[in-house]
Amino acid sequence: MTEKKQTDTENVESAERRSFMKKGALATGALALGLGSAGTAAAQDSEVLVYTYDYHPNVPFRVTNALEQSTTVRLLERPGGGDVPEISQPDDYSGYVIRYNLGGQNAAITTMMFSRSASLSSGDRRRFSGDATIFSSELNLLSTNLQGGGGN
């Protein structure tokens, strides 16, 4: 084999290996978090979407406000616009600002969640269930269910 062909083959194999390793690491990380994709395809009334890095199961949170519809649509589209395969109608969703109750007044996390069917009001208290599935890897969203309130 010529030196050029051997280098080209090594580059392709190296790029394929890196891609495979990245995907494997992501899948391993998701499984380590208990985010296996075994779930029902049917939407449940309490199903919501939350960013993976803001998912804290069984930690009480309070709904602080509803997002404007235009903001919800922008957050559920690709950066720069356009639908992701999992969400063809982002305007079917309602967005909410939530604040986790972690103890003190200064110990809280504020984030957003989205739902097609949940009807929540400012001040409502809920928790995310301990079961979640990856909903959209492109938007970094998990699908989980709401549970009753609790906490402050």
Q: pLDDT (tens digit, 9 = 90+) per residue, 92-118? A: 999 999 999 877 767 789 999 999 998
For 48-69, how does the pLDDT look when each residue is reduced to its tens digit (9 = 90+)?
999 999 999 999 999 999 999 9
- Beta-carbon contacts of 133 under 8 Å, excluding residues fewer than 6 positions away, are 35, 36, 37, 38, 39, 142, 143, 144
Structural domain spans, the chain: 1-32, 47-147
Q: In whole angstroms, give the CA distance from residue 151 to residue 6.
A: 63
Name the pTM for this structure. Answer: 0.68
